Structure 1
Amino acid sequence: MTDIDFKNGNHGAGGKLAPVEVKVLMVALMVSLLVGALDNSIMSTAMPQVISSLGGMAYYVWPFTIYMLASTIAIILSGKLSDMYGRKRILVLGIALFVAASILCGFAGDMLQLTFFRGIQGMGGGILMTIPFIVVAEIFPPRQRGKYAGILSSVFGLANVLGPVLGGFITGFVGWRWVFFINIPVGLAAIYLLLSYFPHMEEVLKERIIDYRGIITLIASLSSMFLALTFIENPNIPRSLLIALFIFAGIMVAAFLYLEKRAREPILPTHLFKKSVFNVSALAMFLSSAVMFCGIIYLPLFIQKVQKLSPEYSGLLIIPMLLSLTFSAIIAGQIISRTGTYKKLAIMAFIIITAGMFLLSTLGTGSTIWELVIYAAVLGAGTGMTYPIFNVAVQNAVSRRDIAVGTASMQFFRNIGATVALPIFGVIVNLTINMDINTASNIPPDLMNLAIHNVYLLGLIISIIGLASCFFLKDVVLSSRMEG
């Protein structure tokens, strides 16, 4: 590896990173990303013990929901804030916020406290899941970004593999509070590495103009949408209230877009939507995320409720899917760096995703374990490829001034894809089963298989739409040199 030349900001201040500095910086960025990505998957295993300790079963979903809401908001805000205050400063702030909130979560006395502290933690987590990709775009030339973005993207798959295992181990041996306390040494190590090896980068924006009106309308729109989607399957919530929440969310989205067109420094510049590469990439990230969670959520349900295998066994059987996601992200990034193009790879990714969803839709009560593993691994391979592809496509399509908000937008649409799709999948299952919630534990395997089959059919339709959209993606030959 040779020294890496980089330029930062709009002012062209250059620098040089030695190979060892690049490696240490990448380790620091990966650790930062891992801390944020690991948290929800660890929590999924620990939550039954949390409920036993704190009570509040009625609030079971809230620590997850508030974290997702706060992190989604932080994702879209962190790009613009890092333009104003610097990548290093915002990333270190994100880790510090995450660590501080982890301490508070570990000492929470009831579910309402835990939920509030998880919201603060989500704000830090959103920053951690965004800034590393922006840093890669600013340090490496376009052709090399794919390789390093693929390495970063592999962290998501790794987190989904390690999370349930670590969550179960930590909860079983030292208690659920250490699920949060474990973030402290890891976060502090990441801060030390970043303070020691993060290269100097000038702020992109010298004027620190914060778009308060855009922030308020964005928070209002996302909050109402999250609430409506969270309670859409709850029969105790009046339908009129859900409709009102959706209408209010729509009004706030319209207000947000209206205000962004007139803001001096918008958090989501509307001129990005004039670029076809940005639009296609945003749609592809939205759809691929929806399909990925279709597999991650409903494959374990199929294994346990249709195949009648244990939860531990279902956890083991989904690992090949997550490993294929991890390795395919790395491989896709390497291919982009070697070929300098991404359109054919994007089409191939969605072909693989579509094939994976089709194969999963053929599963039944008589399916073998090997079929489960292979079909899921195919889906994982396709979804893993999408992470570096569309990040690199957008980073190359926008101006240097918009790299941060463009990169943050891709993570934003990825989060929204899962958030919108999962309640819809749940409605499909409930409509298919059409049973009272009190008899849900006695659902016949054939009926549950039909419900999951219908979910996979919708996932197949979504993947076909994603495949079709990729043909509209404009391709370019990526440069091996940094832009001026």
Structure 2
Amino acid sequence: MNSTNTQNNLIKHYKLILSGLIISLLIVAIDSTITTTAMPKIIASLGGLKYYVWPFTIYLTTVIISAMLSGKLTDFYGSKKILIVALMVFIVGSVLCGFSKNMGELILFRALQGLGAGIIVTVPKKIIAEMFPPRQRGKYMGLFGVAGGISTVVGPTLGGFITDFLGWQWIFFVNVPIGIITLSLIIPYLPELGVIVKDKIIDYNGLITFTVALTSFLAALTFSQQSTVAPIYVELLWLVSLIMLAGFIYAEKTAKEPVLPLYLFKNSVFTVSTVSVFLLGAITLAGTVYIPVFLQLVQGMGPQISGLFLTPLMFSMIVTAILSGQIISKTGTYKKLAIVSFATGALGMFLLSTLTPSTTNLELIIYELITGIGAGLAMPIFMIAVQNAVSKRDLGVVTSSSMYFEQLGSVIGLAVLGSIMNTTLNYNLQNSTANMASTLLVTALHNVFIAALIMNLLGFVICFFLKDIYMSNEFNE
């Protein structure tokens, strides 16, 4: 298809294409949260309680790996082909998960699902950069925040509903018709975009060292929270992870087509944005994970009601993500918006750190709205910034790298925040500083939200070093 026909096809069908991209992001976003409420019944059906955490851990591992590789894959074969293959892998993985007969099979098939999911969450953002010049990307990239916001509330609630009325298998089977609808929008209407690299050199050394480093790291994080695993094995995993990380850095320095070109870190916009999305990955979880903990264990709400109480957070995230993208497209700047987003997020986390058993529902709703505004404003900013700061040649790799560091921030952030909560609870119990369960939990939650507040303040400071590069209505070469 020549460039004129490609452009005409985009103009004629861009709404259908955008719908397909948003739906693809939505099913993956919901899939990452829908299993949380279903897992107890899955364990009851398949057994393997000691492997409870592994369907989540292996899924995150393969999501991060495939997200990292997606940039190079789209450079080699084109964004459309890779997205279609990823959707098919995700659909097949979902079917196999639903037919799992034991926990081992479920873990294996969740890994397959994750391979598709990591590409799906990344490639649509590159496609937007291929479809539209920098100045126009914001208003479309902001729409992608809808998927993340909706999944926050809908995922756990939908998971509980489907599990209760249809069976846990259907939390996976439901992906099939939605995935087919997505393919029906992508295959006929999305043209092949971007420059396809003819010299397909795969960085096997980087791929292997990266995979082993990440797997060892996540396994060490998981086992460090389990008293049944001997500390020596955890320490060995940390050591393997560090050695493989060093090997990965060496491999990237010497590779002809590295998975993560280290020269990108010489670009200050890329470096600042990478640190920022890493922090955001951790910060977002503080609200979505620990507000329900407060509602259920301190205020005594049920799981479904506590899930619905996240609606203000979701609503403000969605609205401000769309608004943020519109502002960037209209003004052509993003630095001030990034600073405001972290400042607002810091205020939200400070307010959440003041929660007590007597906090009213209205107060909590206000705190959630402020927190959601901070997170929503930030959603489109840093992807737009890094894509605007590089040439077309590096578009794929900066998109995949940004998603990789955001996912990694979520994983590490979840472990760090969980460790803070557990350490606080254990310390208070051992020293008898509190004699009521709710008081112990409130103290632990205070520390979790204060940690998230510190992350926001760090992001606030870092964003002063973010360069505002002019956003053109023409494509970067």
With the shorter chain as reference, the TM-score category is: over 0.9
Cα displacement (A) at 1:322 = 1.6
Q: Give the whole-Å Cα distance in 1 for the aligned partners of 2:476 and 2:293.
A: 48
What is the letter of the counterpart of residue 319 of structure 2? F
Work out whether 1:315 is the aligned partner of 2:307: yes
Aligned to 1:57: 49
Identify the match of residue 272 of structure 1 among 264, 272, 277: 264
Identify the match of residue 351 of structure 1 among 343, 348, 353: 343
Inter-CA distance 146–52: structure 2 relative to 1 (3 Å threshold): same
Identify the match of residue 163 of structure 2 among 171, 180, 194: 171
User: Contact 1:141–1:479 at 8 Å: present in 2 too?
Assistant: yes
Inter-CA distance 443–125: structure 2 relative to 1 (3 Å threshold): farther
Alignment of 1:463-474 (within 5 A): 463-474=456-467
Q: Give the whole-Å Cα distance in 2 for the aligned partners of 1:171 and 1:403.
A: 41
| Partner deviation per Cα, 1:266-305 (whole Å, 9 max, x = no partner) | 1111111110100100100011111110111111111112
3-state SS, counterpart of residue 8 of structure 2: strand
Q: Give the whole-Å Cα distance in 2 for the aligned partners of 1:224 and 1:107.
A: 29
Cα displacement (A) at 1:325 = 1.2
Q: Give the whole-Å Cα distance in 1 for the aligned partners of 2:170 and 2:217.
A: 32
Identify the match of residue 445 of structure 2 among 452, 460, 468: 452
User: Contact 2:342–2:459 at 8 Å: present in 1 too?
Assistant: yes
Cα displacement (A) at 1:383 = 1.1
What is the letter of the counterpart of residue 463 of structure 2? C
Q: Give the whole-Å Cα distance in 1 for the aligned partners of 2:272 and 2:223.
A: 30
Identify the match of residue 227 of structure 1 among 205, 208, 219: 219
Cα displacement (A) at 1:18 = 5.1
Q: Give the whole-Å Cα distance in 1 for the aligned partners of 2:361 and 2:316.
A: 17
Identify the match of residue 372 of structure 1 among 331, 350, 364: 364
Q: Give the whole-Å Cα distance in 1 for the aligned partners of 2:146 and 2:261.
A: 29
Q: Give the whole-Å Cα distance in 2 for the aligned partners of 1:20 and 1:376.
A: 39
User: Contact 1:329–1:387 at 8 Å: present in 2 too?
Assistant: yes
Cα displacement (A) at 1:443 = 6.1
Identify the match of residue 70 of structure 1 among 42, 62, 65: 62
Q: Give the whole-Å Cα distance in 1 for the aligned partners of 2:218 and 2:380.
A: 27
Work out whether 1:292 is the aligned partner of 2:281: no
What is the letter of the counterpart of residue 341 of structure 1? T
| Partner deviation per Cα, 1:289-339 (whole Å, 9 max, x = no partner) | 111101111111111122222222211111211221122111100100000
What is the letter of the counterpart of residue 441 of structure 2? M
The answer for unaligned runs of 5 or more in structure 1 is 1-5
3-state SS, counterpart of residue 52 of structure 1: helix
User: Contact 1:261–1:270 at 8 Å: present in 2 too?
Assistant: yes
Q: Give the whole-Å Cα distance in 1 for the aligned partners of 2:152 and 2:444.
A: 25
Aligned to 1:93: 85
Alignment of 1:30-49 (within 5 A): 30-49=22-41
| Partner deviation per Cα, 1:419-448 (whole Å, 9 max, x = no partner) | 1111111221122111789xxxx9611111
Q: Give the whole-Å Cα distance in 2 for the aligned partners of 1:132 and 1:307.
A: 40
Work out whether 1:385 is the aligned partner of 2:377: yes
TM-score calculated relative to the size of structure 1: 0.94
Aligned to 1:105: 97
Inter-CA distance 44–20: structure 2 relative to 1 (3 Å threshold): farther
**Alignment: residue pair count:** 471
What is the letter of the counterpart of residue 462 of structure 1? M
Inter-CA distance 120–443: structure 2 relative to 1 (3 Å threshold): farther
What is the letter of the counterpart of residue 460 of structure 1? L
| Partner deviation per Cα, 1:362-402 (whole Å, 9 max, x = no partner) | 11122111111111221122112212100000000111111
Q: Give the whole-Å Cα distance in 1 for the aligned partners of 2:177 and 2:75.
A: 28
User: Contact 2:71–2:123 at 8 Å: present in 1 too?
Assistant: yes
User: Contact 1:86–1:202 at 8 Å: present in 2 too?
Assistant: yes
Cα displacement (A) at 1:66 = 0.6
| Partner deviation per Cα, 1:400-423 (whole Å, 9 max, x = no partner) | 111111011111111111111111
Inter-CA distance 370–20: structure 2 relative to 1 (3 Å threshold): farther
Q: Give the whole-Å Cα distance in 2 for the aligned partners of 1:383 and 1:252.
A: 33
Work out whether 1:405 is the aligned partner of 2:411: no
The CA RMSD measured in Å over matched residues stands at 1.8
The answer for unaligned runs of 5 or more in structure 2 is none
| Partner deviation per Cα, 1:231-284 (whole Å, 9 max, x = no partner) | 222112222222221222111111111111111111111111110100100100
Deviates more, 1:309-318 or 1:96-105: 309-318
3-state SS, counterpart of residue 310 of structure 2: helix
Aligned to 1:303: 295
3-state SS, counterpart of residue 416 of structure 1: helix
Deviates more, 1:276-285 or 1:368-377: 368-377
Inter-CA distance 443–109: structure 2 relative to 1 (3 Å threshold): farther
Alignment of 1:178-197 (within 5 A): 178-197=170-189
Inter-CA distance 274–410: structure 2 relative to 1 (3 Å threshold): same
Aligned to 1:3: none
Deviates more, 1:126-135 or 1:237-246: 237-246
* Percent identity between the two aligned chains: 45
Deviates more, 1:196-205 or 1:228-237: 196-205
Inter-CA distance 177–14: structure 2 relative to 1 (3 Å threshold): closer
Identify the match of residue 22 of structure 1 among 4, 14, 18: 14
Identify the match of residue 204 of structure 2 among 197, 212, 237: 212
Q: Give the whole-Å Cα distance in 2 for the aligned partners of 1:286 and 1:372.
A: 26
3-state SS, counterpart of residue 77 of structure 1: helix
Aligned to 2:121: 129
3-state SS, counterpart of residue 470 of structure 2: coil
Cα displacement (A) at 1:54 = 1.0
User: Contact 2:157–2:304 at 8 Å: present in 1 too?
Assistant: no
Cα displacement (A) at 1:213 = 0.7
Q: Give the whole-Å Cα distance in 2 for the aligned partners of 1:135 and 1:444.
A: 50
User: Contact 2:78–2:192 at 8 Å: present in 1 too?
Assistant: no
